[in-house]
Structure 1
Amino acid sequence: MGKLIVEQIISADGYAADRDGGIGFFVNARSVNEADQEQLRLLQSVDAIVLGRTTYRLFADYWPEADPAEEPVAAPLNTIPKYVVSNTLDSAPWGSRSAATVVRGDAVASVRALRECVAGDLIVWGSLTLADALLRAGEVDVLRLRLLPVLIGAGRSFAPADLGPRALALSSVRSYPQGLVVLEYRCARAGDRTPG
């Protein structure tokens, strides 16, 4: 079974969304795309992308038509199999190219089932409600935080407030000239004191 990776883009003060739930601070931080080459390397090891309904809609509105010359990660994002965990969507079109597969039922159980049938690593981007459930259940193997050099003062944390202590082991830190820092942690499984 491959790893389950959760990646979040966050402000320097730890927020994944502003107080209104928006991500406008991503646009104001020019370094979001600074680590494209690292993202491309990561995507080479990923066998499927898992999204919640809201993040799926954001991605499907942008990535299918993104120019790979300007957005190097567009090509792999558009070709890697995608799954949307949702009990309300009937379908999940992905531009004119293809569609993501809608997975219904309990979010954690659905992702566990995907882990059994997908040979390699799965990545969850954004999808805060889904990521919260997976963190609570101890299903996350790797937590990647793309920390932007911006403070927003208040908003939605990248982790659920009721998570409780969970051990992390820092596995890598990469910094980039415009201030982006990418932190990667190995996560302890639920009930474990040390990361696996």
Structure 2
Amino acid sequence: MSNNKAIHNPNGGWDVRGGGGRVSVHADTQAGAIDRARQIVRNGGGGEFVASNGGAGRTIVGKNGTIGSVDGKSGGTPSTQNKRAYDVTVEREGRWWVFEIPELDTAGQARNLAEVSDEARGIISAWEHVDIDSVAVSVTVKATEDARTEWQQAEAELAAAQAHANEVKRAVVIKLRRKGLTADDTGRVLGISKQRVFQIEKDKTRAS
């Protein structure tokens, strides 16, 4: 029985290793390594392979643990079907974005967030043996709740501060106008156009 493993290389990419840990193939992505491992197993007359994300102490085996459970769906030929969505969770670990696909109990990594979707779709395509164009993913970034909350609070504070500033500016314009200054003179005092003076007088929400 073949015992090939698709294992993350700490220097980048993924290795397909046979018995004794010998590297037989190197690929840039986990999906590519899985695909090559599948080919090696098939050419060797069947068996199983293991994919590991390395360093996390987690081993992932396709479905029931055998290559047959992955390939048997379509007789070895990728199939195109209506798009199916998979949930993907991702978080930062060192220099990589490490993501998980809970439904398949498998994982992968990407250099940046922009690559997560394509990398995940490639892995799903390899595991499920379907055309990548039939796969859609919904990516959720973990451990960013605090950052989002802080950002939203800052946005709210900025909006409140701007609204207050607008009220103060309008009050200044109204005070000068009530002293008998023309719109032109008011604008010259404040460094704005007389058209802007008229606008501020009429619009409470846009004084800036």
TM-score, normalised with respect to structure 2:
0.21
Higher-Rg member (1/2): 2
Greater helix share, structure number: 2
Greater strand share, structure number: 1
TM-score, normalised with respect to structure 1:
0.22
* Greater relative contact order (Cα < 8 A, sep 6+): 1
